[in-house]
Structure 1
Amino acid sequence: MTSGQRSLFGLAGIIALAFATEMNEQVSAQALPDIAGALGLSRDPQRWFSCLYITAEIVGMSVSPWLAVTLTLRRFSLAVPWLAVLSSSLIPLTGNLTLLYILRIFQGLSGGFTVPLLMTTALRVLPPPIRLYGLAAYALTATFFPSLSTAFAGLWTDLVDWRFVFWQSIPLCTIAFVLLWYGMPVEQPRHERFWRFDWQGFLLVLIGMGAFSTMLQIGDWMDWFNSPAICVMALLSGVCIPLFVLNEWFHPLPLFKFQLLERRNFAYGASTLLTFMIISLSSSALPADFLREAAGYRPEQTYPITLEIAAIQIVMLPLMAVLLNRKGVDSRIVSLIGMACILTACIGDFFVTSNWNRDQFYLWQAFQGVGNAMIVMPLLMMSTNALVPEEGPFASAMVNTPRAVAEAVGIWLIQLVHRERGALHSDRITDRLGQDRFQLVQSMNPVLQRPAALTPDGLPAFPGSMTALHAQVTRQTATLTYSDDWLIIAGIVVCLMVWVCVLPVRTYPPRIVFQSK
């Protein structure tokens, strides 16, 4: 077997490792109430449990490509599965909150290290004629793996044991380690690069990006700028992030190469992937959260609507690779059609009512699944075609770190909408109840299905009547708020449709682009 063929086993190992680390994040987010109950976590530790992972993931993604080049791809990729297994397997066994936070940070670092490795490996080992299939493998991390999280969360929490939310990574990381050990080529490490390590850039991204992502995730909980901690985080991010960009621009061996953004197609790919991660909330988090709040669904009941998207990706991603490999296909048009599909789904979901269950989501989830693949594959092709192989590590950091930041931005956006619009809808519904209070009075012949909450003398009509009325108000408020979420995301999709018409230029399949070079 040639070294090139063995490298494909290494790529398969990276895919298995990416699957394990993505499931660590996504499944634990879905199963957080069960995890918190088992570990005895209150609301505040739950927030930090989620926040620390995303913040550590951002830091890991920023340094992963540099470490892969310095330590060699083989050595670094063989270390990451051990980090993921040790941190994940110990979390269910700890009762100390500080130790739990430390393990969660290591778990986030392992996730941040992995995804850039997948892009770097795909660009290195796959020749131009089949590169699009490697990009399809990378696209799995953005479209396929997150859509499986609800199914796994339902499996472990409702049918098996909550500990397997973390222990599921053990067999996956073991398989990944074996494939990486067999397939990754042996190279000489370049330890001399440590003498030129961008320490200033690393500290600036650690402090600046860490403060920025933490501020976005917990700002709503801490009442934003009424909290001194949020003010300090805002100051740190406002100072460190511009200094980081300036430092990277002039550093001889930077972590990020911002000069790549001068290329229109690469700028489009980096910016659109960030925006896509926010848009993808409309097909994953929002339907699941709505069904949980409005209908009381558990993950075991919710998973079919996200599993539908995962099944579509298995078909659509290879199909997109075949389609985009044709010279006559314009990737910008494919992206535009995909955005139109997602826009259609968001408009359909906008008309959600409190009576919806998962059956009403199936049609719109199908549009989401098709649209996801038609956006991600073209943007990956356009951005990577603008690169030479030596720029692969820089591009990997530039593309993946904003992608991780997008998770924090998405959390901030949803919290903002739910605070502002949710409060507005709640006030209006409550005010309407006050204006129409006589409709709440029990009549002589009530409709048994929806009995009124009060008797004519203002007392509760039956035990729990006011609790039931409050539940109805909460349910209607949630319905209106989630409807606003989908409308806002639809507006973002429209802006993205304008963006794809303006910024990128026509590109051709890698087999043509790199053959001409």
Structure 2
Amino acid sequence: MDIKPLFGLGGVLIAATMSQFNDQVTAIALTDVSGALGISHDSQTWIESLYVSAEIIGMATSPWLLTTFTLRRWTLFAVALCGASSVLIPFSPNIEAIYALRLLQGLAGGLIIPLLMATALRVLTPNIRLYGLAVYALTATFTPALASTVAAFWTDSVDWRFVFLQTIPLCSLAGVLVWYCLPQDQPRYERFRMLDWRGLLLLVIGTGALSTMLYQGDRLDWFNSRLICVLALVSGIAIPLLLVNEWFHPLPLLKLQMLGRRNFAYGALGLFTFLVIGQSASTVPLRYLQEVQGYRPLQSNLITLEIATLQLAMLPAMALLLDYKRVDSRVVSLLGLGLILASCIGSSFLTIYWNRDQFYFWQLLQAVGQPMVVMPLLMMATNTVASPAEGPFASALVNTPRALAEAASVWFLALIDRWRNALHSDRIIDEAGQDRWRVIQGNGVLPQYPPPLMPNGQPRVLNSLEAFSHAVEQQVTILSTSDTFLILGALTVFLMVVVMTLPARTIPPRILFAKH
């Protein structure tokens, strides 16, 4: 086997990792970045919202465009767009320029991620395809978990500008590897005669409205906002029209007929649900440590670094395990989901006394369980791809729900916070109204919670009213965080039911495709 395309695949992996960092690292470091650039809270919410909206569009359209322009040319374009848009953000003259660059950055990230799966399916023979899927899985499990460590390093140890300037060396290396190592095909510009313009327009309008509604809904008080009502109406009309159009178009952006295959349908639905669970389960402990214990990112990142480090060993190990014909991938998925469920239930017992150390064991279960879910899922989905021509369509259908999962996880956590925070806050205030000092424990003494910290790290002296308010806020956060873990556990149980009912058993690709 020629190893040159493998280096090309490595270049695409570096580019995909970079695009994930542009998303995840920026989201974690957004407070520091916004402070340095003088951006208000309301304005900074649009920085992430615009990125995700553009990312969804890029993931849906990139597979169609790579077939038209060729894999190498399209990858080089996406890498160049990613690097250029990222480097310019720290030097933007105003917020409008930042918004425009984040749109381009999100579009570039969306264009790159599907290229990784398409490249893996193309350059890897069936004998080693599972290891290529492990490479793709790194962007779903390893990179998001590593992002908090990278963000903490740039903001606390170096300079916030490197949140964006980090793209220079990585994009340069990715571009060189792609240029010299990926094969050059003949472009197929005649496909533009059958371009799905109607579908593209509906995709931009529908998914853009949906993702913006999910991101901005909680801040704007949902349907009490005229903007949210308009976005809901637009997405409710445009997305069904998009699905109808894609079903009947001769050369669609999304080949929905592939969802008629049970294992592929599981791949799309399962990856969406898994990412909502995984991203939320990693975000919630960090949020608890920062809001309740006053941790900085550099102090709290070790629990996600634990997840990231284990992926480097677990993903190849899962590829090796699934390569045995006797191993049922559905059983492996159920075992992995069981570990994730145990992690959610164990983490739900958190108290005011929990710090980073108490999360290590439960995050260890997450770190082991995640590759046990995502690797069988990818194998079952890609084994249904019968020919190379279906590869781009498969990549689009798998990656578009993946992008939507990011917006959905933000909405999901915001919904839980609004629902459970209001409930716990009302209960605590009602109880405190009966006896001013009987807040939680019923012993007539105000619980001794850690006081909030000043910018220099020293505890701030509070009067009695401030101490009471701070104690209530902390207890509400603790109770709602516990509820969040339990709800994520319920979502994990739902995915376990899907695994037991939807997918059919499959065999390793080296055996399956050897028969054809």
Q: Shorter-chain TM-score category?
A: over 0.9
2:93 aligned residue: 95
Q: 2:252 aligns with which of 242, 247, 254?
A: 254
Residue equivalent to 1:434? 433
Separation of aligned partners in 2, 1:312 and 1:223:
40
Instruction: Give ranges in structure 1 of 5+ residues lacking alignment.
Output: 441-445, 452-461
Offset of residue 371 of structure 1: 0.6
> Equivalents in 1 of 2:11, 2:279: separation in Å?
28
Residue 436 of structure 1: how far off its partner (Å): 1.9
- The amino acid across from 1:313 in the alignment is Q
Please show how residues 47-446 of structure 1 align to structure 2 within 5 Å.
47-388=45-386, 389-437=388-436
Alpha-carbon distance between aligned partners in 1 of 2:429 and 2:225, rounded to the nearest angstrom: 30
Deviation (angstroms), 1:232: 1.1
Whether the aligned pair in 1 keeps the contact of 2:27 and 2:48 (CA below 8 Å) is yes
- Write out per-residue CA displacement over residues 118-166 of structure 1, whole angstroms, 9 at most, x where no aligned residue: 0000000000000000000000000000000110111010110000011
1:23 aligns with 2:30: no
Change (3 A) 1:469 1:250: same
Q: Distance in 1 between matches of 2:305 and 2:41?
A: 29
Residue 463 of structure 1 deviates from its aligned partner by: 5.7
Give the Cα separation in 2 of the matches to 1:321 and 1:253. Answer: 34
Letter of the aligned partner of 1:42 in structure 2?
A: S
Gaps of 5+ in 2: 440-444, 451-460
Query: Which consecutive aligned stretches of 4+ in structure 1 deviate over 2 angstroms post-superposition?
Result: 446-451, 462-465
- Identity among equivalent positions (%) equals 56
* Aligned-partner Cα distance in 2 for 1:282–1:196: 40
* 2: CA distance, partners of 1:477 / 1:439: 15
2:252 & 2:280 partners in 1: Cα distance? Answer: 35
Offset of residue 465 of structure 1: 2.5
SS in 1 for 2:325: coil
Cα separation, partners in 2 of 1:430 and 1:320, compared to 1, 3 Å: same
Is contact 1:283-1:306 (8 Å) kept? no
Contact 2:281–2:485 (CA under 8 A) maintained in structure 1: no
**Structure-2 residue corresponding to 1:476:** 475
Closer, same or farther: CA 159–386 of 1 in aligned 2, 3 Å? same
The RMSD of aligned alpha carbons is 1.5
1:208 is displaced (CA, Å) by 0.5
1:173-212 deviation per Cα after TM superposition (whole angstroms, max 9, x unaligned): 0110010011110111111111111000100110001101
Indicate the larger mover: 119-128 or 77-86.
77-86
Measured after TM superposition, the shift of residue 79 of structure 1 is 1.0
Distance 1:425 1:173 in 2: 47
Partner deviation per Cα, 1:332-378 (whole Å, 9 max, x = no partner)? 00000000000000000111111110100000011001110000000
Residue 464 of structure 1, CA deviation: 2.3
| Larger CA deviation: 5-14 vs 336-345 | 5-14
- State the Cα deviation string for residues 51-84 of structure 1 (Å, max 9, x = none): 0000000000010001100000010101111111
* Equivalent residue letter for 1:199: W
CA distance in 1, matches of 2:472, 2:281: 25
Mapped contact 1:81–1:177 kept (Cα < 8 A): yes
TM-score with structure 2 length normalisation? 0.95
Contact 2:61 2:396 in 1 (8 A): yes
Change (3 A) 1:415 1:463: closer
Deviations 1:382-433 (A, max 9, x none): 0000112211100100000111001111111110110111011111111222
Alignment-mate amino acid for residue 55 of structure 2? E
Shift, 1:469, TM fit: 1.8
The structural deviation recorded for 1:95 is 2.8
8 Å Cα contact 1:282-1:346 kept in structure 2: no
Distance 1:40 1:185 in 2: 45
Aligned length: 500
User: Letter of the aligned partner of 1:402 in structure 2?
Assistant: P
Give the distance between the partners of 2:93 and 2:285, measured in 1 at CA.
Answer: 33
The structure-2 alpha-carbon separation of the partners of 1:438 and 1:481, relative to structure 1 and needing over 3 Å to count, comes to closer
Distance apart, 1:447 and its partner CA: 10
* TM-score with structure 1 setting the length: 0.95
**CA 1:475 to 1:448, structure 2 compared with 1: closer, same or farther past 3 Å?**
closer
Q: 1:351 and 1:96, CA in 2 relative to 1: closer, same or farther beyond 3 A?
A: same
Q: Find the aligned partners of 2:418 and 2:160 in 1 and give their Cα distance.
A: 31
Whole-angstrom distance in 2 between the partners of 1:310 and 1:450:
32
The aligned residue for residue 443 of structure 1 is: none
Task: Return closer, same or farther for 1:62/1:450 CA change in 2, 3 Å cut-off.
Answer: closer
Deviation at 1:300, TM superposition (A): 0.1
